[in-house]
Structure 1
Amino acid sequence: MALSDSSKQSLIPSFLYSSSAKTLPFSHLLSHSHEPAVSQPPMFSNRSQSAATAAGGSFVIPAPSEPSRKIEMYTPAFYAACTAGGILSCGLTHMAVTPLDLVKCNMQIDPTKYKSISSGFGVLLKEQGVRGFFRGWVPTLLGYSAQGACKFGFYEFFKKYYSDLAGPEYAAKYKTLIYLAGSASAEVIADIALCPFEAVKVRVQTQPGFARGLSDGLPKFVRSEGALGLYKGLVPLWGRQIPYTMMKFASFETIVEMIYKYSIPQPKDQCSKSLQLGVSFAGGYVAGVFCAIVSHPADNLVSFLNNAKGATVGDAVKKLGLWGLFTRGLPLRIVMIGTLTGAQWGIYDAFKVFVGLPTTGGVTPAPAAATPTTELAKV
């Protein structure tokens, strides 16, 4: 029984006669048959090919489509993607833990009233209701988004820059120093972006009635202490954030490398993306615990100075004492920063995977061994 034209056409995959498909003549492919090609399973049988040829016209197949455009490493697009990932990871996570941050700041400022974590939440709930737990979330979101953009974007830039200055051999040998230098350089810039928002956030969170949030708190703060007052806590902020970030990045890179080297029996590039992201979160959480311990004294100073007009570091040490400077609010901050840092690395690397980039960290390849030719040249 003869087949109609429409029946013949239905036997052929739709991309062969779709007007939108990019196609190449079959004869053109035959003329290049001497070129090596990767063997692939046929898309259709010989019978279908014969039917297609008999249907009239030259036989055509689609030109191979290019894979989705991937971001090349260390290009402007790469650094832009890292910046965007930093915005998401820092802004969202800090905003999510605003209740914990609120209790921590009040415990640091008024330990008599906020004696513990549980009583602190109870006092806030009684005096300000559930809405009070998220007081200051806007300056938190905006401030830490700006900080995250600079922190992660400039870290990737400085890590590459310092590695290039050192050269392949010394970059591999002193990689931890490069992580430390790159993260410290990035954090100096990041804190300049964060400082004004941090000043307003602390004042809003620790002085009920000062302001509802950023929109009215920022102008009120400037009228009270001037524009430079927004940067009164910059040096203590550097004292808190630079050690924190150095620990955050260097320990994370080291922990992730050790996980892939000693705990996972296959190379990183053979692991599933979900496993890689799990490693990122675990490495980030452990790194966060170290970060909280290292940076906690400076965190107490930042809270104290931004809460009291005209206060100095000496005033803070006198009132809190050295022991209180190192320990007041520390257990809560360990829980908060550990969770925060783990989530930040998870979100950051998830975004990198989403845009086609590899996750951060892994086993550093050894420098290439010198070839015999190179050895002869040295002689």
Structure 2
Amino acid sequence: MSGLIKPEKLSAAPQFSPLNYAQFFAAGGICATVTHGALTPVDVVKTRLQLEPSGSKMSMREMAKTIVMKDGPSGLLTGFGSTAVGYLIQGGAKYCGYEFFKKQAIDYFGVQKAKEHRQLVYMGSATAAELIASTLLTPLEASRIRLVSQPSYARGLVDAMQRMWAQEGMGGFYAGYIPILLKQVPFSIGQFYTNEMMHNFVNAYVPKDKLQRAGKTGQITVQLGCGIVAGSVAAILSHPADTLLSKINRGGVGHGSMMSKLGVAAQQTGFVGLWAGLGTRIIMTAALVSSQFLIYDQLKLFFGTPHSIEV
């Protein structure tokens, strides 16, 4: 992550106060809400493409036109409320959690060992943070996908959640919990691990004086470049589970155990179908992740939050 305490300057992990973690949560929640909210039309098109029958050749543009013709321009904003609320909570928990668990790992291993095992620190911190964030996100994500896949299901987020609770109970909200973990954990690992490693690469191979001469423009360029690579990797790692999650929340995959539903969804979808909409999703997540990291860092500067820790 940018705005980091460089490893050569790190002899002991700095201390973060409860206020600092609140600032991490606020910055993470805002950056996730802004970016996911802005990309709602792309996400609606991507989700509808995933719900097409296996072998469908419909393009992103064709699907967007179909949605507008059927539901009007507002159809491209279906599920916006669920997206905004869900990612305010999920983004805050994920970014704050990543900072927290990375700090705990450095404290546990010590700075030197943490540097030697930095890959494990990155992946472990991302996994732990995402487990918490996904548990909070799942009910809202289930409501969003139901609204996108069945536009007449409810009038909005609150109505959708009330109907799901009345008809399906807690099981309806968490029907996609395992798939969302299979989606979000690889996504977060790809996002944070790749971003950290890309920044390490830049720090190792780009002369420091060149970076300093580039000033703010160079800093933003590095932030966006690392974020674009991280977003692309995150999309590829998480896409099959993202497709299955859409299928399960649409319904029609039986009423057995979650593993049974996953098996039915995978069988219905087929290997090729698992990758439907990947190109769209890479574009979306590359823009989303790079923008998130940029906004996150700018908000931390605004809040006066201490720098993140790099090992």
Q: Is the structural similarity TM-score above 0.5?
A: yes
Alpha-carbon distance in structure 1 between the residues aligned to 2:117 and 2:276: 36
Q: Deviations over 1:229-273 (max 9, x none)?
A: 101111100000001101110110110121233235338788744
Partner of 1:87: 29
Partner of 2:10: none
Q: Does 1:232 align with 2:190?
A: no
How many aligned positions are there? 291
Shift of 1:116: 1.3
2:278 counterpart letter in structure 1: L
**Does the 8 Å contact 1:187/1:245 carry over to 2?**
yes
**Aligned match of 2:85 in 139, 142, 150?**
142
Alpha-carbon distance in structure 2 between the residues aligned to 1:260 and 1:77: 30
Alignment of 1:23-102 (within 5 A): 73-102=15-44
Relative CO higher for 1 or 2, CA cutoff 8 Å, sep ≥ 6?
A: 2
**Aligned match of 1:220 in 121, 145, 163?**
163
**Aligned match of 2:132 in 185, 189, 194?**
189
**Aligned match of 1:324 in 269, 273, 282?**
273
**Aligned match of 1:336 in 260, 284, 287?**
284
Alpha-carbon distance in structure 2 between the residues aligned to 1:116 and 1:304: 19
Q: Does 1:347 align with 2:295?
A: yes
Change (3 A) 1:101 1:351: same
Partner of 2:153: 210
Q: Deviations over 1:132-184 (max 9, x none)?
A: 11011000000011100110001000001011111121111111110100010
Percent identity of paired positions between Structure 1 and Structure 2? 34
Question: Mean alpha-carbon deviation: is it higher for 308-317 or for 345-354?
Answer: 308-317
SS at match of 1:261: helix
2:35 counterpart letter in structure 1: T
Shift of 1:79: 1.1
Shift of 1:191: 0.2
TM-score by length of 1: 0.73
Alpha-carbon distance in structure 2 between the residues aligned to 1:361 and 1:331: 33
Alignment of 1:237-316 (within 5 A): 237-266=180-209, 272-308=215-251, 311=254, 312-316=261-265
Alpha-carbon distance in structure 1 between the residues aligned to 2:230 and 2:123: 13
Which runs of 5 or more structure 2 residues have no equivalent in the other structure? Answer: 1-13, 255-260
Question: Mean alpha-carbon deviation: is it higher for 349-358 or for 174-183?
Answer: 349-358
Change (3 A) 1:77 1:278: farther
**Does the 8 Å contact 2:253/2:264 carry over to 1?**
no
Shift of 1:357: 3.8
More helix by share: 2
Alignment of 1:116-131 (within 5 A): 116-131=59-74
**Does the 8 Å contact 1:87/1:145 carry over to 2?**
yes
Shift of 1:309: 5.1
Shift of 1:281: 2.0
Q: Deviations over 1:288-308 (max 9, x none)?
A: 000100100000011010111
Higher alpha-carbon Rg: 1
**Does the 8 Å contact 1:277/1:359 carry over to 2?**
no
SS at match of 1:238: helix
Alpha-carbon distance in structure 1 between the residues aligned to 2:99 and 2:221: 21
Partner of 1:10: none
Alpha-carbon distance in structure 2 between the residues aligned to 1:361 and 1:297: 32
Alpha-carbon distance in structure 1 between the residues aligned to 2:153 and 2:273: 26
Pairwise CA RMSD: 2.0
2:241 counterpart letter in structure 1: A
Partner of 1:356: 304
1:78 counterpart letter in structure 2: N
Stretches of 4+ aligned residues off by more than 3 angstroms: 111-114, 267-275, 357-362
1:74 counterpart letter in structure 2: F
